[in-house]
Amino acid sequence: MAASTTAFALATETFWADADKHLACHGAEFTPEIINRAAGSFLFAADGRKILDFTSGQMSAILGHSHPEIVETVQRQVATLDHLFSGMLSRPVVDLARRLAGTLPAPLEKVLLLTTGAESNEAAIQMAKLVTGRDEVVSFAGSWHGMTQAAASATYGAGRKGYRPGAPGNFALPVPDAYRPDVTAADGSLDWQRQLDCAFELIDAQSAGSLAACLVEPILSSGGIIEPPAGYFAALQAKCRERGMLLILDEAHTGLCRTGTWYAFERDGVVPDILTLSKTLGAGLPLAAVVTSAEIEQSAQERGFLLFTTHIADPLVAAVGNTVLDVLVRDKLDERAQSLGAFLRDGLENIAGQHEVVGDIRSRGLLAGLELVVDRESKQSSSELGARVTRRSLELGLHMNVVQPPHTGSVLRMAPPLTATRDELSLGLTILDKAIGDARAAL
């Protein structure tokens, strides 16, 4: 027993020494756990610890980890047809394009299959610029759309420092945050219409007359789970129409049933000119999509749209995407996200009743954010508190993500798998309750 314990300790020490010596930092600290495997809603560390995953991996594994049907699909497909030259087609690719279009309202019917959210946003921006003949892009001040050139230039939440120059002609739109309103009505509530009007007055003043697109998330995820008020997106789309801009909606985190509907934009009665998807489409595997109208796709094609990437329209991940759609439809995971989301929201409300450091709760379906503050009255934030809560949660067996956008404080971001059970959500809520209490006591 002692020998095996010593061997484990040495292996662990070697692992972290190798990681420290050979892994380049990608901008975030590594979690101090060695993960050996994952199944369902849980991760299993090398030391035997079982960790409840409230982030679905990188907000991606909507069917949980190692879903048996995904495993079977990968094993079957990799043994028959995995990768092709970019100009070749396979049945899984055409089937996924047809089926994905079938989940969307008209005129969204043309699908481009890619690998990541950054790649899909990059493609959507390039398509919009080509079709409109313009080059200026508007996006939320708390946005996160990816770290490639055009996507990074439309990202304001982080990652803008030190990379000069970004793409010219990018403008920030203020975040319509009802909890921290910057433009208010007489009663102190957010006056989002006046905020939007003022924002576009400034954008028009700065524009060189070349506005091409507005790229926004229906719910800002990395921006702190900020959900713009009802009516906002219809008004935003009207602003775009007035200026001949295309509206691009980035549903990397919200698409495919997470918010209780197949797509978050359904709540607002708008249909984007271009929709981008990723993360959830592959349920953890690298699969993304750009979906647009036949008219826009034809216009782009006529103007010489060109996008070659190594793994465009790969049959392996396309087959996985088809399996994801199978499970979402068969198991009615949109309805499940609604009911489990209500259960999660109730639990978070109960936690807020016990801890005054909970300033606000924001959620739709199984995407939730809990903003931590030092004082509810002043809404003063504390990055230290958020870090302590996430660290203590991990020690107790719950993995969560804390985001700290410039315009908010510390927001605990939760996106459990759509396949999670009520018991698993209850476990997570219990751990979170204790972690907040312990963190408060330690401050």
The string of pLDDT tens digits covering residues 356-402 is 999 999 999 999 999 999 999 999 988 899 999 999 999 999 999 99
Q: How confident is the model at residue 292 (pLDDT cuts 50, 70, 90)?
A: very high
pLDDT, the chain, mean: 95
pLDDT at 28 over 70: yes
Find all residues with CB under 8 Å of 134, minimum gap 6, and list them.
210, 211, 212, 244
Q: With beta carbons less than 8 A apart as the criterion, state whether 130 and 356 touch.
A: no
Span 11-27, average pLDDT: 92
- pLDDT tens digits for 40-93? 999 999 999 999 999 999 999 999 999 999 999 999 999 999 999 999 999 999
Mean pLDDT of 173-177: 97
pLDDT at 407 over 70: no
Residue 220 or 167, more confident: 220
Q: Residue 406: what pLDDT?
A: 67
| Model confidence band, residue 164 (pLDDT cutoffs 50, 70, 90) | low
pTM: 0.96
**pLDDT at site 356:** 96
172-178: average pLDDT: 97
Residue 26 has pLDDT above 60, yes or no: yes
Structural tokens at position 220: 């800002």
Identical topology for domains 28-59+333-442 and 70-330: no
Domain 70-330 grouped into CATH 3.40.640.10: yes
Q: Please give the Cα distance from 178 to 188 (Å, whole number).
A: 10
User: In 236-349, where do the E strands start and end?
Assistant: 246-250, 274-277, 288-293
Q: How many Å apart are CA 219 and CA 119, to the nearest integer?
A: 20
Phi and psi of 226, rounded to 5°? -100, 120
pLDDT tens column, 84-125:
999 999 999 999 999 999 999 999 999 999 999 999 999 999
Structure tokens at 324: 């994801």
Give the strands of the sheet with 108-114, arranged side by side.
108-114, 288-293, 274-277, 246-250, 211-216, 136-140, 170-173
What backbone torsions phi and psi does residue 433 show, to the nearest 5 degrees?
-60, -45
Q: What angle do CA 163, 180, 407 make, to 5 degrees?
A: 10
pLDDT at 404: 81
β-pair type (380-381, 401-403): unpaired
Domain ranges of the chain: 28-59+333-442, 70-330
Q: What is the pLDDT of residue 178?
A: 96
Domain 28-59+333-442 fold? Aspartate Aminotransferase, domain 1 (3.90.1150)
Instruction: Flag whether pLDDT at 154 surpasses 80.
Output: yes
> If you average pLDDT over residues 403-412, what whole number do you get?
80
Residue 25: the pLDDT is: 87
Task: Tell me the C-alpha distance between 120 and 124, whole Å.
Answer: 6
pLDDT at 1 over 60: no
Single out the residue of 198, 196, 213 nearest to residue 136, CA to CA. 213
- Six token digits for residue 162: 């030190």
Kindly state the average pLDDT of the residues 209-236.
97
Amino acid 165 reads: P
